[in-house]
Structure 1
Amino acid sequence: MFVRNPVVPELITTTLQSSLDFWVDQLGFTIAYQRPEEGFAYLDLHGAQIMLEQYDPEAGQWLTAPLELPFGRGINLQIDVVAVAPILQRLAMLGWPLFRDVEDAWYRADDIETGQRQFLVQDPDGYLVRLVERLGERPCKQA
């Protein structure tokens, strides 16, 4: 049985197929299910889930303002992956630009630091996606 997460963002896309090419072929998501006649797809990557819906001005979609590229201003979607290297290789093969290059970052969480190897890329509609490979935890460094 497919388990849906309690929070799943739904992104409006200009062209569903272009978005599927990015999210599935480049980032490695699978299509859990889709309704092509409605321009809709529900995607999953090891429990990270996202919905894509193609823009249709006649469909009565829940839009709070007119859509202007890049979509999703002010948000980035952090997605945990097993390893960032294979995704980076696929993006490089296609010449897909990175928004921010890969880096190892350590973030304080109380008395520990959690590490992640991360990079940022924009999907075809400009949504900012941060792919994260977990590096573990370490004690906080004393200042």
Structure 2
Amino acid sequence: MLYDRPEDGFACIERDGARIMLDRLGSMRDWLAAPAERPFGRGMNLEIAVASVAPLLTAMDRAGWPMFLPVEEKAYRVGDGVVRVRQFIVQDPDGYLVRFSERLA
């Protein structure tokens, strides 16, 4: 955690240069584009590229956090080439899917 404001329901977290700002609904400011109904995420997935998924997998295991998509290796077409990644997905308490991916050689 880089910093937080618990009184406002806010925290800024960072890992390997990727930052996410988390803000509790009903806190100081709400930016709502539609009615706030659970599950909030509704299948949206945020990809965070990391140098290695291994330490994150260890942390998730220690925390007992369930995997939405267990770790896998996958190839994706990008333009005329192919990118291979090792990835996994977890779901946060609001339903957002967070994909951590490590680019493979």
Return 70-79 or 33-42, whichever deviates more: 33-42
2:16 is equivalent to residue 39 of structure 1 = no
Question: For 1:88-107, what aligned pairs fall within 5 Å after superposition?
Answer: 88-107=57-76
Question: For 1:1-143, what aligned pairs fall within 5 Å after superposition?
Answer: 31-56=1-26, 59-136=28-105
Which structure shows the higher helix fraction? 1
Q: Distance in 2 between matches of 1:53 and 1:60?
A: 9
Identity of aligned residues (%): 52
TM-score (norm. length: structure 2): 0.84
Q: 1:114 Cα deviation (Å)?
A: 1.0
Q: Distance in 1 between matches of 2:65 and 2:71?
A: 14
Q: Deviations over 1:18-68 (max 9, x none)?
A: xxxxxxxxxxxxx222222222122221221111111217x4511133323
Amino acid at match of 1:79: I
CA RMSD of aligned residues (A): 1.9
TM-score (norm. length: structure 1): 0.64
Answer 1 or 2: higher relative contact order, Cα 8 Å, separation at least 6. Answer: 2
Q: How many residues align?
A: 105
